[in-house]
């Protein structure tokens, strides 16, 4: 999760989030190089006292500053298109979770396993245990197995919400009357927190998301306890 004063991304816990961070670093490197070059040329022009009133154009310079930005845009566009394709891919999911947004809580349904379903509300501040995170803890966690392709189908019953977990690199709008989907492949066990990222009313800030990623053995044990 994010800590106070943290300027960068949260630690990646899925291959998609790793690719997002790699692309961010790639784009930032290109931007820093461009800014450095522009600042250097600007200072050189300001400090240079030489001028020639007879020079009105330079075909060589105009060719360079037309072709160079096009090449830079290619280096940014190709990785971006590849990443967009990976984010939208939902091939061969092992399980599917249905997520519904409400004002102001989330409900989940494991439709592949005897229709296990429950609502997930934020734990009030006066009921938190020692070590719990304020405004992020929920009474029921969404439990998923790690190293497993999981498809999340998201919708809403009232207004537009947004189901977001930054550490896993997922964010999808929950729109009434429409189904959106995303694919997750968590690679590390633990608790992962998110929040609704679309302003949805007075209690928008009070509908957090808590994912509990566990190994497959524990996940099957939890399923059996829910069914029985």
pLDDT confidence of 1, banded at 50, 70, 90? Answer: low
CA 29/CA 54 separation, integer angstroms: 38
Q: 27 Cβ partners below 8 Å, 6+ apart? A: 76
Task: Report pLDDT for 131.
Answer: 84
- Does 106 score more than 70 pLDDT? yes
Pairing between strand 208-214 and 142-145? parallel
Q: What percent of the chain has pLDDT over 70?
A: 96
CA 154/CA 197 separation, integer angstroms: 14
Least Cα distance to 87 among 17, 188, 166, 189 occurs for: 17
CA 85/CA 116 separation, integer angstroms: 31
* Domains by residue range for the chain, with CATH: 15-88 (1.10.287.90), 95-227 (2.60.40.420)
Residue whose structure tokens are 């509990």: 212
Find residue 199's DSSP bridge partners.
Answer: none
Task: Report pLDDT for 47.
Answer: 85
Computed over every residue of the chain, the mean pLDDT equals 88
pTM assigned to the model = 0.80
pLDDT confidence of 223, banded at 50, 70, 90? Answer: confident
CB 10 within 8 A of CB 1: yes
Alpha carbon distance, N-terminus to C-terminus of the chain? 33
**What would the pLDDT profile of 87-98 be if each residue is shown by its tens digit?**
877 778 888 999
């Amino acid at each position: 999760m994010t800590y106070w004063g943290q300027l960068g991304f949260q630690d990646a816990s899925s291959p998609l989030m790793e690719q997002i961070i790699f692309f961010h670093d790639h784009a930032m490197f290109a931007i820093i190089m461009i800014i450095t070059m522009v600042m250097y040329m600007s200072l050189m022009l300001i400090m240079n006292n030489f001028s020639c009133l007879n020079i009105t154009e330079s075909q060589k310079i105009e060719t360079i500053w037309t072709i160079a930005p096009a090449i830079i845009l290619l280096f940014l566009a190709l990785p971006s298109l590849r990443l967009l394709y990976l984010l939208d891919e939902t091939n061969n999911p092992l399980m599917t979770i249905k997520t519904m947004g409400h004002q102001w809580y989330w409900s989940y349904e494991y439709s592949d396993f005897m229709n296990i379903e429950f609502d997930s509300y934020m734990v009030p501040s006066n009921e938190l245990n020692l070590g719990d995170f304020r405004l992020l803890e929920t009474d029921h966690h969404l439990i998923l197995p790690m190293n497993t392709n999981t498809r999340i189908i998201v919708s809403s019953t009232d207004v537009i919400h947004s189901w977001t977990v930054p550490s896993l690199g997922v964010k999808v709008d929950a729109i009434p009357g429409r189904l959106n989907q995303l694919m997750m492949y968590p690679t590390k066990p633990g608790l992962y927190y998110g929040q609704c990222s679309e302003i949805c009313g007075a209690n928008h800030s009070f509908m957090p998301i808590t994912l509990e990623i566990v190994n497959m053995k524990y996940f099957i044990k939890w399923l059996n306890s829910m069914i029985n």
